[in-house]
Amino acid sequence: MRVVIAECTVDYDGRLSAHLPRAKRLIMLKADGCVAVHADGGAYKPLNWMNAPNVFTEKDDAFVVTNNKNESLTITLHEVFDDVQHILGEDPGLQKDGVEAHLQQLLATEPSRLGDGMTLVRREYPTDIGPVDLLCRGKDNEVVAVEIKRRGEIDGVEQLTRYLDFLNRNPDLSPVKGMFVAQEIKPQARTLAEDRSIEWLEVDYDDLRGIQSPQQQLFR
Amino acid sequence: MKFRCERDVLVETLGTAGRAVSTRSGLPGLSGVQVELVGDQFTVTGSDLDLTITTTIEVSGESDGKAVIPARLAADIVKALSPGAVELSTEDDTLRISAGRSDFSIRLITSDEFPKITDIDAKPVELDAEQLAHALKQVVLAASSDDSRPILTGVLLAAEGDSLRLVATDSYRLAMKDIDGIELLSEGEQVLVPSRALGELHRILANGKSITLRLGEKEASFTVEGVTLTTRLIEGDFPNYRGLVPDHHPNTLTVNRTALLDALRRVKLMAPQEGTPVRIEMNEHGMELVAVTADVGTAREVVESSYVGEDLVVAFNPRFLLEGLEVAPGDDVTLLTTDELKPALIKSVGFDNYLYLLMPVRVS
């Protein structure tokens, strides 16, 4: 990632012509070939940009980016204030819901929170249609597939139903019961789960983390 | 089936039975109410399998019959009709509702999709409806609405000497009421009745003076003035509530209940968010209520009271405190405390048969 702060003018030529008059701007030259020109406003959107694949040419006083659609972006540099380059490496990706992953981790560590006598067989149990969050055994040694969500909605029950359908085809595991776990489960999801003989359970994230609520309880 | 009935009577009847109808069941039969006419007796039954409400009224019957009709739609239609007589009739798979110039035909629900309702085979016990309604109002509020802890969604009915004891707790507070002179259960016997059913019963009790209660092994039924409410009992062990009620409190605050309620409602304005506590500062001069919401402001109010004990600041969820005070009997109440973290007890002066136990909120 190369980051340049410069006084520049920018000219785009392609489907239309556009001109950015001289001003101080941030120019991002990404390792994947994308070039973006940012001002100090406009949130995340660049003033102008050129996606990869493209051809990048660096001249003494300009960056010229062209692509095979006959588009060109010419950034004329009048004064350069900063020009730094860092190798960022591969990004681990966006973790959309840290709470969900943490709930899974906490319940894997303490499966008895899911029910008396519950033990963990495996976390992220693989199936051909995706991994089941937790595969456990209940107090009667029955196999229980556990799907964990932050907010329990109908699509989560549907997802667990698909896993159960798949797991129950395996004679080594069948019969496999389902358990739908979330911090909060919508009434429709509860009804659907009950209709499909899937047990549902709401868990207290703070309680699992050992964080005491200021509101004390008479008993737990 | 064919009969005539006054619109307002029919609206109330369909509405009462309809309160047991499931709004989110996947079973089509449960979205309907079963209607049956025998002579001039018209009976409507709604059920979600856990709760069943049956109500019977007198109508001008023409021909007997039985059917399952869409609960919501039928009730909405009848309610929208002009005041006066309404005629209901069924033929094949259609219900016809007509009044004045209005005429509706709606499809019936298949009868075999409706659950079979059986009577409870148990000895009937008569209770005073007003007394029970008052007790339910004082106790049901403390039951939990969290279905993931089903035991706590129930109200415990237990024998206590020659009284019937009602107990409910959501783990944050506990309400307990003894109704004297009712020997409904044997000593040591107890049942757990869903609070939702008792909430519905409380509505119905307003209509009658006497209630007939039947306790079966897995179900209980309550009959008041032509309305029978049958509920499944909750199975499981209720928390050991006796162990939760402390028998010794070194600090006693005595205050006029209405004055405290009024002050609390005012101070609570500064604790609008659920979870923001109201503090009670108690010392030899009496009590002061304090609510603070950061970035918003502070409310303080001194309430005339007498206090015996050590200087103490204890905080409560204002909603829990208000709800307990609202249903407590009598003019004056005592707030019995041990320290800022142990359960506090609200009792009414001169009334030994009701108590409200409340856990404080931990504040810095």
* Residue length of chain B: 364
Same domain, A124 and A164: yes
**CATH number of the CATH domain containing A117:** 3.40.1350.10
For the segment A93-109, the average pLDDT, to the nearest whole number, is: 79
Task: Please give the residue range of the domain that contains residue A113.
Answer: 98-208
Give the integer Cα–Cα distance in Å for B142 and B138: 8
Element (H, E) at B86: strand B85-91
- Domain assignment of residue A216, yes or no: no
Q: Is B104 on the interface with A (CB under 8 A)?
A: no
Give the integer Cα–Cα distance in Å for A145 and A197: 13
- Domain assignment of residue A93, yes or no: no
Residues 160-189 of B with CB under 8 A from A: 169, 171-174
Nearest partner of B190 among B237, B158, B224, B236, judged by Cα: B158
Same domain, A50 and A29: yes
Determine contact, residues B317/B279, Cβ cutoff 8 Å: no
Interface test with A, best of B151, B362, B363, B364 (most A CBs within 10 A): B362
Same domain, A183 and A137: yes
Tell me which DSSP letter residue B334 carries: E
CB pair distance less than 8 Å for B172 and A217: yes
Helix-strand-coil percent breakdown of chain B, rounded to 5? 25, 45, 30
Say if residue B360 is preceded by a cis peptide, omega within 30 of 0: no
Same domain, A200 and A108: yes
pLDDT higher at A98 or B56: B56
CB pair distance less than 8 Å for B359 and A192: no
pLDDT in tens, chain B (364 residues): 999 999 999 999 999 999 999 776 567 778 899 999 999 999 999 998 889 999 999 999 999 999 999 999 999 999 999 999 999 999 989 999 999 999 999 999 988 878 888 888 888 989 999 999 999 999 999 999 987 788 999 999 998 888 999 999 999 999 999 998 887 888 878 999 999 999 999 988 887 889 999 998 899 999 998 999 999 999 988 999 999 998 889 999 999 999 999 999 999 999 888 778 999 999 999 999 999 887 788 999 999 999 999 999 999 999 999 999 999 999 999 999 999 999 999 999 999 999 999 999 988 7
Interface test with B, best of A207, A219, A220 (most B CBs within 10 A): A219
- Domain assignment of residue A214, yes or no: no
CB pair distance less than 8 Å for A218 and B359: yes
Output the 3-class SS for B115-167. Answer: CCCCCCCCCCEEEEHHHHHHHHHHHHHHCCCCCCCHHHHEEEEEEECCEEEEE
Give the integer Cα–Cα distance in Å for B137 and B193: 15
- Domain assignment of residue A134, yes or no: yes
Domain count, chain A: 2
Same domain, A122 and A190: yes
- Domain assignment of residue A220, yes or no: no
List pLDDT tens digits, range A152-180. 999 999 999 999 999 999 999 999 999 99
Same domain, A196 and A102: yes
Give the integer Cα–Cα distance in Å for A74 and A10: 6
Same domain, A104 and A194: yes
Whole-structure pTM over 0.80, yes or no?
Answer: no
CB pair distance less than 8 Å for A201 and B148: yes
Residue B169 with chain A: CB contacts under 8 Å = 218
Interface test with B, best of A114, A186, A215 (most B CBs within 10 A): A215
Q: What is the pLDDT of residue B26?
A: 61
ipTM value: 0.82
Same domain, A10 and A73: yes
CB pair distance less than 8 Å for B343 and A218: yes
Tell which of A64, A85, A106 closes a domain: A85
- The CA-to-CA distance between both ends of chain B, in Å, stands at 69
Pairing of strands B60-63, B51-58: unpaired
Same domain, A59 and A161: no
Element (H, E) at B169: strand B163-169
Tell me which DSSP letter residue B141 carries: G
- Domain assignment of residue A180, yes or no: yes
Residues B205, B153, B258, A215: what is their CA dihedral angle, to the nearest 10 degrees? -170
Tell which of A55, A85, A115 closes a domain: A85
Same domain, A106 and A204: yes
Q: What is the pLDDT of residue B167?
A: 97
Supply φ then ψ for residue B184, to 5 degrees: -90, -35
- Domain assignment of residue A140, yes or no: yes
Same domain, A195 and A151: yes
Chain B residue whose CA is closest to A188:
B24
Give the integer Cα–Cα distance in Å for B115 and B127: 29
Same domain, A145 and A66: no
Tell which of A85, A107, A126 closes a domain: A85
- Domain assignment of residue A213, yes or no: no
- The CA-to-CA distance between both ends of chain A, in Å, stands at 53
Burial class (CB in 10 A: 0-12, 13-18, 19+), A51: middle
CB pair distance less than 8 Å for A218 and B173: yes
CB pair distance less than 8 Å for B171 and A220: yes
**CATH number of the CATH domain containing A50:** 2.70.180.20
